[in-house]
A and B are shown apart, each in its own frame.
Chain A
Amino acid sequence: MDFGENVIDVTGLRRRYGPPGDEKKGFEAVRDISFRVGRGELFALLGTNGAGKTSTVELIEGLARPSGGTVRVLGHDPYGERRAVRPRIGVMLQEGGFPAELTVAETVRMWAGCTSGARPVAEALELVGLADRRTVRVKQLSGGERRRLDLALALLGRPEVLFLDEPTTGLDPEARHATWHLVRELRESGTTVLLTTHYLEEAEELADRVAIMDKGRIAASGTLAEVIAAHPARIRFTLPEGWYVGDLPPLAELGVDSYEQTGRGIELRTRELQRSLTGLLLWARDKDVELDGLDPRTASLEEAFLSIAGRAA
């Protein structure tokens, strides 16, 4: 898919916490990240907790100045040119900040006063299904309702670019699907979306392209198909006492690209799962070998994610 103009352009981005100048102290949460998001595209940043997703997104939202690299949102520096960028973006932070003692409607009204071309309060609440909670104080909302209130504020100014940091965390399945539906509709109406999530299903449902982050770096990126293709299917099993990898048929003949051995445990990686598995099972029947814990897995985003996250552990 070609999305033309880059709405978000991130090059060599770095973010370090701790005393400046001292390389030994502090912690670098974002280490040399680059990616682009085209107009109308939905880009998902995936990663385990602590991978650096939020630290990255906050830089793109202009909440902090990067310690290295550049960010452009709609052609502007979101930190230095806040005024130019803010009216055109909508932000949902990982943790919404609302005064506990205001009601839902009061919160939206306050936000509307700070937003040019804001939707009417009722319409914004309708969008996220909170219309019947308008007179409830924020402190009495459930975690999921708070997330939806946050989403309503992000959508208030009909933004061109939407930042959603873990938008469905704490939502029940019904509300999660409603949010997905809403995000898809926004995307179809031309909104560019940068989403972070640790739900793989969410990325699979919504994203045009994904990047998997690990320890502050992008470990894999591309369309879902590309990311999955880069991480082949695998077959795990344990060989019984007295049998070795060398006893298997030549791996190339099975279509296996590579293998890994931990103790007696074997993991074969293949792009032709069916052919490899058939060959392996026929061999096992021939030799009357019991393959303990046989576990073939087809290539999936989850596999790609786990192999990256697992590599980190």
Chain B
Amino acid sequence: MAVTERGEATGPGAAGPAPRGAAAVVATRLLALGRAEATLLKRNKTALYVALLMPVLMVWAMHSATAKLDLEKTGMSANEASITGAFGFVLLFAVYQNLSGAFVARREELVLKRLRTSEAGDAEILAGSALPAVGVALAQCVVLVVAGAAWLHLRVPARPDLLIAGFVLGVVLFVALAAVTATGARTAESAQLLSTPLLLLSVAGSGVAVPLKVMPDLVADICELLPMTPVVELMRGGWLGTLGLYETVGHLATALAWVVIAVFAVRKWFRWESRR
């Protein structure tokens, strides 16, 4: 064992070839955390299958049910309804359920506590750990759009800006909600259980399996306020070009409100340390 000599330069960044900007430093940290988490996801077969296969399986399972609905009021074909609803499945399985388990696992291994002694900030630790899940979700959404347009005779996205806005808001919201869910769970398994209510509620009430326009008006009005609803509506509307300005603003506002609530809840209640 030996200690190497400390260099002449001691200031931050002095050791590197050139001083780096703050954004580059943050990006380096996020990538380092994301890379480690990706390796862990690769080695956790159950979590990997849930993230990769569940969205596909659910779309396939739901497609025939959706086709039986009276979709006339929605102005969508069965393919359009189920493929755009699949965005919801992607966010629920690849992001929400996957990460609520991962956050609990890292907390119970005391990894989060250890990381909090590093230079990474709290938000960076959660965001970096979420990167692989977000990457998987992004890839799945791209596949959906390409497959939908190429083979299922869906149109090319009409408002890609809204599609992307919906995705970004959805990702931020469901990463934060995964952290909130993780706060209440003691093990990765109980996190799966705790994530189920929001998962089922979103599938049933947020236009993922059943488009809102098929529902009675009062139910649809309430369901519009669920966290997943504005995300799915923005992505669906962005693709199919069916959103008016009034609806767009409404969904953006609802989604933003949920993001604010979820981020506030994480900042206030997230537990970084095991209770052991």
A binds B: yes
Check B1 against A128 for contact (C-beta < 8 Å): yes
Whether the pair B117, A87 counts as a contact (CB closer than 8 A) is: no
Contact between B4 and A116, CB atoms less than 8 A apart: no
**Are B114's CB and A110's CB within 8 A?**
no
Question: Smallest CB–CB gap between B5 and chain A, Å?
Answer: 8
The count of A-to-B residue pairs whose CB atoms sit within 8 angstroms is 107
Q: Is A63 an interface residue (CB 8 A)?
A: yes
Number of interface residues of A (CB under 8 A): 44
A87-B119, A110-B36, A117-B16 known; A96 vs B114 contact (CB < 8 Å) = yes
Tell me whether A110 and B33 are in contact in the complex, defined as CB-CB below 8 angstroms, given that A83-B121, A97-B109, A116-B25 are known contacts: yes
- Could you tell me the distance between the alpha carbons of A190 and B6 in the complex, rounded to whole angstroms? 10
Contact across chains for A115 and B1 when beta carbons are under 8 A apart? no
Q: Which of B39-47, B136-144, B231-239, B257-265 contacts A (4 or more CB under 8 A)?
A: B39-47
Determine whether A262 belongs to the interface, using a CB cutoff of 8 Å to chain B: no
Whether the Cβ atoms of B14 and A117 lie closer than 8 Å is yes
Q: Which listed residue, A86, A93, A126, A185, touches B114 by the CB 8 Å rule?
A: A93
Interface-lining segment among A21-29, A100-108, A282-290: A100-108
Tell me whether B40 and A101 are in contact (CB under 8 A).
Answer: yes
Q: Chain A contacts of B35 at CB under 8 A?
A: 109-110, 113
- Give the CA-CA distance A157 to B25 in the complex, in Å: 14
A126 to chain B, nearest CB (A): 8
A264 sits at the interface (CB 8 A): no
**CB atoms of A115 and B3 under 8 A apart:** no
Interface: A297 (CB within 8 A): no
Residue of B whose beta carbon sits closest to that of A128: B1
A178–B1 CB distance below 8 A: yes
Contacts of B152 in A (CB 8 A): none
Report if A113-B13 is in contact (Cβ < 8 Å); known contacts: A86-B119, A98-B109, A99-B40: no
By the criterion CB–CB under 8 Å, are B3 and A186 in contact? yes
Cα-based distance from A119 to B15 in the complex (angstroms): 10
**Is A112 in contact with B32, judged by CB distance below 8 angstroms?**
yes
Q: Which of B15, B31, B116 has the most CB of A within 10 A?
A: B116
Residues of B within 8 A of A115 (CB): 118-119
Contact (Cβ within 8 A) A106 B36: yes
Q: Does B23 touch A at the CB level, under 8 Å?
A: no
> Is B28 located at the chain interface by the 8 A CB criterion?
yes
B44 touches A101 (CB 8 A): yes
Q: Which residue of A lies closest to B35 (CB)?
A: A110
Q: Given the complex, which residues of B lie within 8 Å of A82, measured CB to CB?
A: 121
Tell which of B2, B14, B121 touches A127, judged by Cβ atoms closer than 8 Å.
Answer: B2
Contact residue among A111, A113, A128, A157 (Cβ-Cβ distance under 8 Å from B31)? A113
| Interface set of A (CB-CB < 8 Å, partner B) | 61-63, 82-83, 86-87, 91, 93, 95-102, 106-107, 109-117, 119, 123, 126-129, 153, 157-158, 178, 181-182, 185-186, 189-190
Can you identify 27 A-B contacts, CB atoms within 8 angstroms?
Answer: A62-B117, A63-B113, A63-B117, A83-B119, A87-B119, A93-B114, A93-B117, A97-B114, A99-B36, A101-B39, A101-B44, A102-B39, A102-B40, A106-B36, A109-B35, A110-B32, A110-B33, A113-B35, A114-B118, A116-B119, A129-B1, A157-B119, A178-B1, A185-B1, A189-B5, A189-B6, A190-B6
Beyond A126-B1, A127-B1, 18 additional contacts (C-beta under 8 Å) are A86-B117, A93-B114, A95-B110, A97-B111, A109-B32, A109-B36, A114-B118, A115-B118, A116-B25, A117-B12, A117-B13, A117-B15, A119-B4, A178-B1, A185-B3, A189-B3, A189-B6, A190-B6
Residues of B that sit less than 8 Å from A by CB: 1-6, 12-16, 25, 28-29, 31-33, 35-36, 39-40, 43-44, 105-106, 109-121
